[in-house]
Amino acid sequence: MVAVGSGPRESLHVATEGGACELNGIVTILITMSCTRFHHGRLGGAGLKLEDVLLLARKENQNYKAYGSSKGKEREQRTSVRFKTTFMNTLIDVLRHRPGWVEVKDEGEWDFYWCDIGWLRENFDHTYMDEHVRISHFRNHYELTRKNYMVKNLKRFRKQLEREAGKLEAAKCDFFPKTFELPSEYHLFVEEFRKNPGITWIMKPVARSQGKGIFLFRRLKDIMDWRKGTAGKKPTSLEAQQARGAVNPSGSHDSRSSDDQKEEIPVENYVAQRYIENPYLIGGRKFDLRVYVLVMSYIPLRAWLYRDGFARFSNTRFTLNSIDDQYVHLTNVAVQKTSPDYHPKKGCKWMLQRFRQYLASKHGPEAVETLFSNMDNIFIKSLQSVQKVIISDKHCFELYGYDILIDQDLKPWLLEVNASPSLTASSPEDYELKACLLEDTLHIVDMEARLTGKEKRVGGFDLMWNDGPVSREEGAPDLSETGNFATNTHLGCINDRKAQLRQLFRSLQSQKKASS
């Protein structure tokens, strides 16, 4: 008897008398037979080939599509990597210029897909991917990248740390401003608001980007007006799609079926967040930092930190006297480039290396080292907060864009994490940064199977977590209180990536020759 059941994307198990053989798949097939054995790709007594079993699964799931599953000699002879993407920016340039990579379009079969999150939401659960295939998002990435889910997961993780490791360890999660989700936590927000009258709050839609829908306020009346303005207002199709978010297979936040969600128009959720009123200023202007973190796996957690990034500045001098002026308070390039004072060639960015050098000249290297170490803590703790809820899939990786704000006390604050950080360049310098970032991301994804898996640095990326902290020094890390453990991160430091890559691949080639 062969029973086929559809469900969330997971490993496909063939249960036999001798045990279970795990295969890659989109459905769970339970095969119960008397005296059957799995031998040389054939299900013994029934005479069923593995391909027959998969075919049954495909017929059962009419939306099923397979990628990367070339057969026989065609697969053996293939030396190119077939890629697909819909992004027409720096990314497509990097992919098209990568040796041995061939672009496929439409419904062509691909090995590597840098997809948008809309495609992921609609297609991931109906897609079978062969062993070597890679895709650029985790199934429920929104656990970290939607503002409300990020805060919920961080709050939960903080409570967990307090129970298991004490208040001192839990305090390491105090890097995000006090936040409430609206409308669900409106009454809690009002209670907190009345405890601290006169302070500034910022409202952000949970699933929008580029500064859209954000405003500052100091009076409850502003919230009342906002609620009246949004009550009964139907969002645009794009806003509705973003407000729905992805259907969560784990059911941790939304247990309704996808059919139910299609029939209703959702109320767009916002977060009300205490505004950081004392940001660190350079030249009297506010800024935030964009930092890139690459996650290759959640179980175990394996994360890389890129050396380069940038500080994004507002074009207008900071003041709390004009909370309605977006050019003062929002540093997003999408907002700033609409300012009458914006200069396209000059832009409004500093590279992180320049920023780090500036801080060192003002505050000394020790203070800067402490600041950047605290940022490392933000990256690790935020990833750990979602480690148990993200669906870890060996086909998936994710390049996150972290937005960090620094206050006058040199304390870093996590503003948000982006699942699709902008890869469109705003200047030649910005183009070079993003092109190198993407090239090094592809080196680590390693479709060409050149790496050994033991590398601690690849180009501009440093391995900062590998199922535990990674030390800058060789050998086992000393995590004792007296030890001199230093995390393997070099954010804002010199990025001699070209020289490092030449040395790395020369060494890998020598190892390959020696072993052959």
Residue bearing tokens 């303005």: 229
Concatenating the DSSP letter of every residue in 317-360 gives: ---SS-TT-HHHH---HHHHTTSTT--TTT-SEEEHHHHHHHHH
Backbone angles phi, psi at 296, to 5 degrees: -95, -20
Instruction: Give yes or no for a contact between 400 and 421, defined as CB atoms under 8 angstroms apart.
Output: yes
Sign of CA dihedral 116, 120, 126, 131: positive
> What average pLDDT does range 477-503 have in this prediction?
81
Specify the range with the lowest mean pLDDT, choosing from 194-203, 205-214, 507-516. 205-214
Concatenating the DSSP letter of every residue in 80-127 gives: SEEEEE---SHHHHHHHTSTTEEE--TT---SEEE--HHHHHHHGGGE
- Do you find a cis peptide bond into 300, omega within 30 degrees of 0? yes
Give the pLDDT confidence of 276-304 residue by residue, as tens digits: 999 999 999 999 999 999 999 999 999 99
Rounded distance between C-alpha atoms, residue 50 and residue 55, angstroms: 9
Token code pair at residue 283: 């030249």
pLDDT for 512? 85
Residue bearing tokens 């249960």: 15
Edge-to-edge strands, sheet with 270-274: 179-182, 270-274, 201-205, 215-217
Rounded distance between C-alpha atoms, residue 245 and residue 208, angstroms: 10
Token code pair at residue 179: 């936040």
Per-residue pLDDT for 13 more than 50?
no
Residue bearing tokens 């391995």: 463
Backbone angles phi, psi at 17, to 5 degrees: -60, -35
> What average pLDDT does range 145-152 have in this prediction?
95
Rounded distance between C-alpha atoms, residue 117 and residue 121, angstroms: 6
Instruction: Give yes or no for a contact between 390 and 142, defined as CB atoms under 8 angstroms apart.
Output: no
pLDDT for 160? 97
Q: How many CB atoms lie within 10 A of CB 181?
A: 19
Give the pLDDT confidence of 179-202 residue by residue, as tens digits: 999 889 999 999 999 998 889 998
Token code pair at residue 214: 């954000």
Ranked by mean pLDDT, the top range of 8-22, 105-119, 251-265, 477-491 is: 105-119
Rounded distance between C-alpha atoms, residue 111 and residue 395, angstroms: 10
pLDDT for 4? 33
Instruction: Give yes or no for a contact between 444 and 296, defined as CB atoms under 8 angstroms apart.
Output: yes
Concatenating the DSSP letter of every residue in 384-432 gives: HHHTTTS---TTB-EEEEEEEEEBTTS-EEEEEEESS-----SSHHHHH
Q: Residue 179 in 3-state DSSP?
A: strand
Token code pair at residue 251: 């059911």
pLDDT for 351? 96
Rounded distance between C-alpha atoms, residue 271 and residue 29, angstroms: 42
Token code pair at residue 258: 């996808």
The DSSP letter of residue 232 is T
Specify the range with the lowest mean pLDDT, choosing from 122-136, 172-186, 378-392. 122-136
Q: Residue 198 in 3-state DSSP?
A: coil
* Domain residue extents for the chain: 146-177+282-516, 178-275
pLDDT for 107? 75
In this predicted model, which residue has the larger pLDDT, 78 or 436? 436
pLDDT for 52? 45
Give the pLDDT confidence of 306-355 residue by residue, as tens digits: 999 999 998 888 777 877 656 555 655 555 555 556 565 555 889 999 99
**Burial 295-331, CB ≥16 within 10 A → b, else e:** bbbbeebbbbbbbbbbbbbbbbeeeeeebeebbbbbb
Q: How many CB atoms lie within 10 A of CB 487?
A: 20
CATH topology of domain 146-177+282-516: D-amino Acid Aminotransferase; Chain A, domain 1 (3.30.470)
E strand or H helix at 515: helix 497-515
Architecture of domain 178-275: 2-Layer Sandwich (3.30)
Mean pLDDT, the chain, integer: 78
Specify the range with the lowest mean pLDDT, choosing from 58-62, 206-210, 261-265, 483-487. 261-265
Instruction: Give yes or no for a contact between 213 and 204, defined as CB atoms under 8 angstroms apart.
Output: yes
